[in-house]
Amino acid sequence: MRNAFAAAITELAATDERIVLLSGDIGNRLFDTYRARCPERFYNCGVAEANMTGMAAGLALAGLRPFTYTITPFATTRVIEQIRVDICYHDVPVVIVGTGSGLSYASLGPTHHSCEDVGILRCFPNLTVLCPADSSEVRPAIEAALGLPGPAYIRLGKKGEPTIHATPPTFTVGKGIVMREGSDVCLLGMGTMTSVALAAADELAGRGLSSRVVSMHTVKPLDEALLADAFGRFRAVAVVEEHSVIGGLGSAIAEWRCRRDGPHPPLVVCGTPDAFISEAGSQAWMRERCGLTGPAVAAAVLARLGARR
């Protein structure tokens, strides 16, 4: 996904002279083409994310369209106050891009994990939260963010994520992308977990359950029409997210659901636990441990449906 970001921002900056890319001293060589084409609109801001984020606000206040880019925890939770005050309170169109979200950097340890970012950032007024599902959603997510009058956060994986779209999808802020239709269970994937939701759908199909699968790339604002439909006609709704079960898409949907009347089929939230994962290990191992695999998600859905019988 980071290569998709680099390719997209390089192309877009070549024609949109408002784009300025601020990098937090990462992406060695990733932006060489960008820098060659638009040297005056790229700044390596060093290991100084608070300044980078504040400068982005200043650039946006002066009419430009800055992007901040670094590893997710450093682009987000390290600079929460700059995001809250400089970007969101000013309501300026900065795009914050976090790369290596969730457990993408599993083996680097909890300093580099990012399983709280969505929960914190979606509290802030004015901020749109976008979690593209795969590389082909990255460019449309950037273009959608550029079309907004205010700020956006784009939560990326790292590299090598499975591509779930055969062709670049239509990407509209606040509208989930239906990947597969079904009639029993609605599986909502946040970002890169949409591929796991698809795998879970395959598992459930083997148990005789038909699943609708959605890439819920926009966590804020929620696709309320899609949710109302899902809670109205499926036997269960399940969220799959590489994020803490506290604060993420599952929480956002639970909040929404508690505020409304109508049918309340079970909501299953598959995410990371309320704990730091301090053991060494790969992303695949940690996902397995957190129950973030197709079979584990399917089992969680079946358990909830079984408990209802």
Partner 1 sequence: MTSVADLAAIAARIRGRVIEMSHAAGTPHLGSSLSCVDLLVATYWGPLRIDPRNPLDPDRDRFILSKGHAATALYAALAERGFFDPALLDTYDTDGGALPEHPGLQCVPGVEAATGSLGHGLPIALGMALAARIGRRPARQFVLMSDGECEEGSVWEAALFAPAHELDTVTVMVDYNKWQATGRSDEIMALAPLAEKWRAFGWDAAEVDGHDMAAVLAALSREPDGSGRPRVIVAHTVKGKGVSFMEDDNNWHYRIPTADEVRKARRELGLPEGTA
Using CB under 8 A, list all residues that contact partner 1.
20, 40-41, 43, 45-46, 48, 50-64, 66, 81-82, 85-86, 89-91
CB of 276 to partner 1, least distance (A): 24
CB of 7 to partner 1, least distance (A): 22
Q: Which residues contact 47 (CB under 8 A, 6 or more apart)?
A: 24, 25
* Pick from 173, 179, 182, 251: nearest CA to 217: 173
- Say if residues 169 and 134 touch (Cβ distance below 8 Å): no
Question: Alpha-carbon distance 217 to 201, whole Å?
Answer: 18
Q: In this complex, which beta carbon is closest to partner 1, that of residue 58 or of residue 109?
A: 58
Q: In this complex, which beta carbon is closest to partner 1, that of residue 48 or of residue 280?
A: 48
Query: Partners of 220 in the beta sheet?
Result: 129
CB of 83 to partner 1, least distance (A): 12
167, with CB counted inside 10 A (0-12, 13-18, 19+), is exposed
CB of 57 to partner 1, least distance (A): 5
CB of 11 to partner 1, least distance (A): 19
Place of tokens 């079960």: 245
Tally Cβ neighbours within 10 Å of residue 47.
11
Q: In this complex, which beta carbon is closest to partner 1, that of residue 120 or of residue 246?
A: 120
Q: In this complex, which beta carbon is closest to partner 1, that of residue 43 or of residue 256?
A: 43
CB of 45 to partner 1, least distance (A): 7
Q: Which residues contact 132 (CB under 8 A, 6 or more apart)?
A: 1, 138, 140, 141, 154, 155, 156, 171, 191, 217
Q: In this complex, which beta carbon is closest to partner 1, that of residue 85 or of residue 148?
A: 85
- Say if residues 136 and 169 touch (Cβ distance below 8 Å): yes
Q: In this complex, which beta carbon is closest to partner 1, that of residue 80 or of residue 246?
A: 80
Q: In this complex, which beta carbon is closest to partner 1, that of residue 24 or of residue 73?
A: 24
Question: Alpha-carbon distance 9 to 19, whole Å?
Answer: 8
CB of 82 to partner 1, least distance (A): 7
Tally Cβ neighbours within 10 Å of residue 138.
27
